[in-house]
């Protein structure tokens, strides 16, 4: 399953009052694993940046002055997200801006049923606890040291990690990788010591002889002959299991 984790930065809180997109960041997941493919763009909002918004993301009028308009990047953005579910934290906010920009540029808007809202998932999974991105990163031990200010691509990357944890973590490998959610289990397994004495063989003398006869019938080039030469015949076995 292909999913796109998405985040935006804007000039304010409401596109209906003239606020615009200034940044889009996307991270591709396939079966809830990052593929390494991303989409990232800064956008000239064609209006002044309010100080309140600048203090959040640090994108100034001067920085955005030479960036493309949304209409210039809309097709590339739609191509990147085509056919995928969108994963967004507080999806109503971001989708409000994206669909407003798409409609403004004369393009078809994105259906809300394509969107998964991680804010709703977090509130259901952790009722009564803070559900913003910083709080969820802290809960799941995700490093946010690079997040000095909000940035769409960085926040999408962090949200991708949160989304995977909200869905149970990297269960394909049981988390037995560096930084995995089950690293404590792996550490415990590493401490397991071998038995002081090996268990006695459960192969009877008759079974061992039948095995040797079978190998002899295969031929002298049989791979099993190599192992047979290093094996010791079992002691008299009781045949009990």
Burial of 83 (0-12, 13-18, 19+ CB in 10 A): exposed
Q: Which helix (H) or strand (E) holds 133?
A: helix 133-139
Per residue in 55-84, pLDDT tens? 999 999 999 999 999 999 999 999 999 999
Q: Are residues 101 and 164 in the same domain?
A: yes
Q: Out of 57, 89, 100, 150, pick the active-site residue.
A: 150
The average pLDDT across 187-192 equals 42
Residue 205 pLDDT grade (very low, low, confident, very high; cuts 50, 70, 90): confident
227 and 115 in one domain? no
Same-domain pairing of 105 and 63: yes
In this structure, are 30 and 96 located in the same domain?
Answer: yes
| Judgement on whether residues 115 and 201 belong to the same structural domain of the protein | no
Higher pLDDT, 32 or 148: 32
Within a 10 A sphere around the Cβ of 8, how many other Cβ atoms?
A: 24
DSSP state of 195: P
Q: Are residues 175 and 237 both part of a single domain?
A: no
Residue range 198-214: mean pLDDT, rounded: 72
CATH number of the domain within which 159 lies: 3.30.420.10
In the residue annotation, 126 being an active-site residue is answered as no
pLDDT tens digits for range 145-157? 888 788 999 999 9
Alpha carbon separation from 115 to 79, 88, 119, 130, 162 (Å, rounded)? 16, 7, 12, 22, 16
One domain, residues 209 and 226: yes
85, 202: one domain: no
Instruction: Give the range of the structural domain holding residue 58, as residue numbers without chain letter.
Output: 2-187
Same-domain check for residues 92 and 40: yes
The residue assigned the tokens 């949160």 is 162
Residues 200, 153 share a domain: no
Burial class (CB in 10 A: 0-12, 13-18, 19+), 26: buried
Q: Which residues pair with 40 in a beta bridge?
A: 25
- Number of domains, the chain: 2
Q: Are residues 166 and 134 in the same domain?
A: yes
pTM: 0.71
- Are 144 and 224 part of one and the same domain? no
């Amino acid at each position: 399953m292909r999913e796109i984790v998405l985040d935006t930065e804007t000039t304010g809180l409401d596109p209906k009052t003239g606020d615009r997109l200034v940044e889009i960041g996307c991270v591709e997941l396939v079966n809830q694993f990052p593929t390494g493919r991303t989409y990232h763009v800064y956008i000239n909002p064609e209006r002044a940046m309010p100080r309140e918004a600048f203090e959040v993301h640090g994108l100034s009028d001067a920085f955005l002055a030479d960036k493309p308009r949304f209409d210039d990047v809309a097709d590339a953005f739609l191509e990147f997200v085509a056919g995928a579910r969108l994963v967004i934290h507080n999806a109503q906010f971001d989708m409000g801006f994206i669909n407003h920009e798409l409609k403004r540029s004369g393009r078809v808007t994105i259906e809300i049923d394509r969107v998964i809202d991680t804010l709703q998932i977090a509130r259901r999974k952790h009722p009564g606890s803070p559900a913003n991105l910083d709080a969820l990163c802290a809960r799941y031990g995700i490093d946010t040291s690079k997040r000095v200010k909000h940035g769409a691509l960085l926040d999408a990357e962090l949200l991708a990690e949160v989304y995977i944890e909200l869905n149970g973590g990297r269960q394909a490998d049981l988390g037995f990788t560096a930084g995995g959610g089950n690293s404590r289990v792996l550490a415990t397994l590493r401490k397991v010591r071998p038995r002081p004495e090996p268990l006695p063989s459960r192969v009877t003398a008759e079974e061992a002889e039948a095995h040797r006869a079978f190998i002899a019938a295969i031929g002298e080039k049989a791979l099993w002959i190599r192992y047979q030469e290093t094996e010791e015949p079992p002691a008299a076995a009781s045949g009990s299991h």
